[in-house]
Every structure is written in C-alpha cells, then in structure tokens.
Structure 1
Amino acid sequence: MMPKPLLAAALALLPLAAQAQTAALPTDPAADWSVPTSEHRVAVEGGKVWVRVNGMIGTGATPVILIHGGPGGTHVNFGSLLSLADQRPVILYDQLDSGMSDHPEDPANWRPERFVAELEAIRVALGVARWHVIGHSWGSALALEYAARYPEHTASAVLSGTYISTPHWITGTNLLIRELPDDVEATIRACEGPSPPAAEVCEPATAAFYAAYNGRPDRPAPSPEMRAYRARYGGKGFNARLYNAMWGPTEFRASGSLATYDATHLLTQVDGKRILFVIGQYDEARLDDVQDFVALTPGAELAVVPGGSHAFISERPEVAEAILRDWMSRIDERESAGR
C-alpha cells in the first residue's frame, strides 16, 4: 500500500504557514523536473512539511497536488509526472515524518485526519483556491477524505492504486497470494502463521509477491535524472517505523492503526463525476474490488494501465501521464463551461 475531524490545532497554525524559497527557473517549467519553481516549509500540526511547486500558482490551468503512498513513503516516484507542469502548476510534498519534511517521530501525529489537515494547510499556505488531488495507494485514502471534507476546494480526486479500505485490501491481497505458484503461496502462509520459518525462507516468498504485484521485473531501470533527483531530494527517505506503526510488516498483513480503516462510506458523499480510479493491470488493488468502488460512486470513471502493477507510475510513465492529463483537462473544460 506503498500505500474525523480534529482540525483545530492544525488550522490554527495556518497563518504561520509558508516560507518559500524561489529557485532559478528553467525556460520551460517542465524541461528540468529536478528544478522546482519554488520550495516551501509549511507549518502543520506536529511540525513543518516540505513542499515544491513547478509552475506559478495563479497561472495556467487548475493546479494539481500529488499525494504519495506509504504511510511513510515520499514524493520521489512522482518525478515523471512533473511533465504535467507544461499545462498547470504541479505540487509535490513529503508527508510529516517522511522524506524532506520534519521528522518529529511522534506517533500522536500518525492519524488520517491529521494527514488530511496537512493537505489543507498546504493549500492555504500556497494560496490555491481549487485544485486536483491525486493520491496513490495510501494517498488515495487521503485524496478521498479530502474531497469529501473540502468539496469546494476539490476540482477532482484521483484514487490511484486504490487503497481506501483495509478489509477490502487484505481480502484482495490474500486472493492474489492464491494466484502465486503453490510453493510460494505455501511459504507465505507459513510465514504468516504462528510459528513462521526463518527470515531467509520468508523474504524470497514476500519478494515474489512484490515482483508480481508491486514493481514487476520488466519495469524500466531508474533514469540518471531520477537517480540524481533521489540524491538531491530524497531527504531521510522512506520511514519504516511509520509504515509499521500505521500499517504493518508487509503489504498483505495489516497489524497497525489502519487495521480497521474503511472509508468506503465516503464514496457516496463525493461528486462521482469528479472521481477517477486508476490501477495497474497487475495491481495489488484488485480490479474486482475497485470495480465495486466505482459502482458505489455514481458517475466515476476507471482506467487500467496495461502491463502495470501497483508501481505503474514508474513502470508505464507515459500511459500514466496521458491518463491524468486527459482527465484533468476534461474536468477543467467542464468547470469552464459551468457544468
């Protein structure tokens, strides 16, 4: 999953919010995706989060913010989507305790409602009236919660690599385990049992699950630009402690605070015509489950990335970009027409 209100404390911090540093602009804001137009430290409940913007807020089409997975992941896998900045401002950020943001390492901050309030703090700090929110994996849950809580500020929400319910996710990943070779399935089941075998037995089986559904072996190698970007903007990287505390040890076992999380009820509270689900053909987010989510969201759309797993943004970047570009352009046209 690589992946409620208690907002008063976070919102009280908003007047402090943004301390911006403007970088040297490339001629084309999408030409060198390692160079942001501006960087910010935004005050949120628990600390400050790092935010980067490509493009100028207030110019171009409606801005978009990309919400990374985890919990505990970082923004870096969205690097290829900075090409969207030729049409609209693109906002990336690291959630608190991840990447370039502050790391207070306080479990009291590890609550979905605080992460949603974090998004709203960024919007206010940047002066964005309305934006597209694109969440991947755990970020999908935040995008859905945000769209339900702040419809007036949400042009659209994309639920990518869709995680919005732990019970659905765990049921789905256990069905996916059954599709692995018999010996791999048997090993995973043993490793999940009360007397698991040694790590050297379990780790290859877990890796086989990930190779099938979360980063397939034929995915492109990281480009030189991506490697340079990780070195420059990786910060403290992925936060395993946060991931384990909120989720658990593997993608198919939830033992943390999100073990009972379920936001499917919010699907009836959002404008379905402004919701897009996107998954990979071989995604951990199973097609059957996501089709059920679509059915609960009248007017919503579904896109499936051919050949992609849960990591389809890096595996099929051109396809992922085209889907998102088309979706946001159509929503913008609809808004311009007052529909």
Structure 2
Amino acid sequence: MDVDRREIVAGIAATALLPTTAAAAPAADWRPPAPDRELRVPVRGGSIYVRLNGDLAAKKPPVLFIHGGPGSGHSGFLPALQLADARAVILYDQLDAGLSDRPADPANWTVERFVSEVDALRAALKLDRLHVVGQSWGSTIALEYAARRPAGLVSLTLGSPLISVKSWEKSTRAQLATLPADVRRTIETHEAAGTTADPAYAKAMDVFYAHFLYRQTPPAYITAYKKRPGLTLNPVVYNAMWGPGEIAATGTLKSYDGEPLLPRLAVPTLVICGAYDEMTPAAVKPLVARIPGGRLVSIPDAGHAVASDAPAAYVAAVRAHLESTDARR
C-alpha cells in the first residue's frame, strides 16, 4: 500500500539479488532536480498534479511512475528522477492525494477510475510510447492498465505489488507471525474487535512498520520535499479503500483480485520487492511465475518502501529493465 505510516496511522524468467552498492549509485550529494515542467491534467472528478523531468521528445520512451496508497503521493519516487539523464520521467499525484484536487467524493474511489487517469495523462502529454512503473497500490493500477494491452506500452514494472488481497494478507500475516507475541496479540485483538483507533494498536503497528514498511531512514531530500505546502497524505481515501492498517483490508478493496490478469501481460515485466517487504519475495514469486517472461528482483535490507530504503539499488533495477527493453526494440 506504501502509505507513510509515520504520517498516517488512523513462468519466471529470473530471480536477481542486487547488491546495495550498485554501480549506478548516485553521488552522495545528489539531490532531486526541480521539475522541468509542472501542469494539471483534467481527469474524471477533478484535476491532478503532474511533474516532468527530461525531454519527452528524447529517443528513449518516457517512464510514468504510479504511487501507492491509496491517498499517498509522488514524493517516494524522487530517487527515480535520476533516470531523467536518459529519458523523460513523469511523476503525478492521484486524485484526492498529494497536490491534486481533493473532491472527497467516494464515487471517484474505484480501481477503474484511477486507471483512467493514465489515459488522461497520456492524452495530455501526447505519450505515444511509455514505460509504466507502479508501487504497491500503484502496481494495482499499473497491472490493470497493462492487462488491457494498450498501444504504445513498452514495459511494466510492479513494485511491492498489491496483485490480490488474498496474496497480500497471506504475506503480511506471515510477517506478523515473526514479531513478538505481545505485538501480534495487540494487533490481532484490536483488528478483531474493530478498536483500531486505540493508541495501543498504533504503537504495535509501528513495530510492524519498522520491520516491514520503512527499514531505513529516508533520504533527507525526501523528508524535506514532503514539507512542501499542500503535499500531504490523505487518510480518508486510504481508510475507505483499504482500512486502518497495512496488514488486512477492510475497505472497498477487500475483495480485489487481479491474479487472473497476470497471464494477459504482453510486455516485458519486472517485479521488485524488498527482502523484508510487506509483500515478500517468497509470496510474490508464484505470482510472477504466471506472468509471461516475468522477472523478480529482491532488494536487500529494504522493506515495502523500496525506493526510499534502497534508492541506489531500486533505481539501478528499474534502469536496467528500461534499458534492456529499449534495446529489444
């Protein structure tokens, strides 16, 4: 789901293990550049914020990043702006998230409507070809979009993906089982009783998140960027669509199942997970096996917030996937 819980608490082709000291690591003093262009794109229900770095007319197709949540924002993808040295990088906030409009209308909170934002973005930016990268809930949107086999889609990357709630909860329950008994008992008791507003639940969930969501301190530039006025998270849409915590779904997504879509993916597909992800590599591996030519990369020492926990390794994995796909064309 990829929500910053410190701010909101209410047939497989190959399996790779990337070193944390990736060759493509940026300089220690790297900072994300200011956007080359910012715009608002009309979508059903309002307008969304979009930022662009790099040249849309470059030879290499641009890459569109779809953030998690629901209700999170694009800031977690700041490390990916390193890719703008070779192609245009597009980040955006979904409706009711980040710098986009917040009409707060539950009628907008459907998978289909969020997928339609990708079509609106492509039309506004005239994207004949593009790579798509999702993270967590953003991977749900990316999966649904790619399964339609849209013209011009070059490749797909699914980060820490919510492919189905049943596979997600199987993974998170297994992770929960590794925590101390008192933590498990507190979480399970309050979720069963519907008393997740109790501070004891939040305290216990913080232990879960420290193990499986954010394992490392985020880069200072991400922390600073989140202080931009208006760039706040939206717990209302998160709670309505998912629920009070990352482990189990109680909202409108609770019966979501995108597994039947996996065999329909017709472009080179990379799946990235942190070694200690909420959606573990072991849990996602059998799903990747159902993606034609699918490939899985596990990032050491990373939790669910892979791009924040291990920016160099994450960017290196995405860059390699985009470059290898471009080379085939």
TM-score between both structures, scaled by the size of structure 1: 0.86
Secondary structure class of the residue paired with 2:51: strand
Counterpart pick for 1:326 among 314, 320, 324:
320
Pick 1 or 2: higher relative contact order, CA cutoff 8 A, min separation 6: 2
Take 2:196 and 2:116, find their aligned partners in 1: how far apart are those partners? 42
**Aligned match for 2:309, one of 302, 308, 315:** 315
Counterpart Cα distance in 2 of 1:258 and 1:176 = 21
User: Residue 127 of structure 1: CA displacement?
Assistant: 0.8
Rounded to whole Å, the distance in 2 between the matches of 1:37 and 1:198 is: 42
- The code of the aligned residue for 1:230 comes to K
Cα distance per residue 1:312-337 (max 9 Å; x no partner): 211110000100001100000011xx
Q: 1:207 is matched with which residue? A: 206
How far off its partner does 1:288 sit?
2.3
Distance 2:177 2:326 in 1: 42
The one-letter amino acid paired with 2:262 is: L
Asked whether the equivalents of residues 64 and 88 of structure 1 are also in contact (C-alpha less than 8 Å), the reply is yes
Distance in 1, matches of 2:37 and 2:320, equals: 26
2:37 corresponds to 1:38: yes
1:231 pairs with 227, 237, 242, which one? 227
CA 1:231 to 1:197, structure 2 compared with 1: closer, same or farther past 3 Å?
Answer: closer
Once the two structures are superposed, residues 38-89 of structure 1 have per-residue CA deviations (whole angstroms, 9 ceiling, x without a partner) of 1111011001111011012111411000100000000001111101000000
- Does the C-alpha gap of structure 1 residues 82 and 179 become closer, same or farther in structure 2, counting only changes over 3 Å? same
CA drift of 1:236 comes to: 4.3
Residue matched to 2:235: 240
What's the counterpart of residue 219 of structure 2?
222
| Letter aligned with residue 65 of structure 1 | L
Question: Secondary structure of the residue that 1:192 maps to in structure 2?
Answer: helix
Contact 1:49 1:101 in 2 (8 A): yes
* Aligned residue in 1 for 2:21: none
SS at match of 2:271: strand
- For normalisation by structure 2, the TM-score amounts to 0.88
Q: Which has the larger radius of gyration?
A: 1
> In the alignment, is residue 258 of structure 1 matched against residue 253 of structure 2?
yes
CA distance in 1, matches of 2:76, 2:273: 16
Runs of 4+ residues deviating >4 angstroms: 195-198
What's the secondary structure of 2:52's corresponding residue? strand
Matched-pair identity in %: 43
CA distance in 2 between partners of 1:226 and 1:263 (Å): 31
Q: Contact 2:218–2:308 (CA<8 Å) still a contact in 1?
A: no
Superposed CA deviations along residues 78-109 of structure 1, whole A, max 9, x for unmatched, are 11110100000000000001111111111100
Matched, 1:75 2:71: no
Which residue of structure 2 aligns with residue 276 of structure 1? 270
| AA partner of residue 307 (structure 2) | I
For 2:201, give the aligned amino acid.
Answer: C
> For the residues of structure 1 that align with 2:160 and 2:166, how far apart are their CA atoms?
16
1:2 maps to what in 2? 2
Preserved CA contact (<8 Å) 2:276 2:301 = yes
CA distance in 1, matches of 2:62, 2:163: 24
Aligned equivalents of 1:331 and 1:198: distance in 2? 46
Contact persistence 2:163–2:258 (CA under 8 A): yes
Q: CA deviation at 1:255?
A: 1.0
Structure 1 residue 286 corresponds to structure 2 residue 285: no
Q: Aligned residues, how many?
A: 303
Unaligned runs of 5+ in 2: 4-29
Q: Which runs of 5+ in 1 are unaligned?
A: 4-30
Structure 2 CA distance, aligned partners of 1:268 and 1:221?
A: 35
Give 1:222's aligned amino acid.
Answer: P
> For 1:73 and 1:211, how far apart are their aligned partners in 2?
18
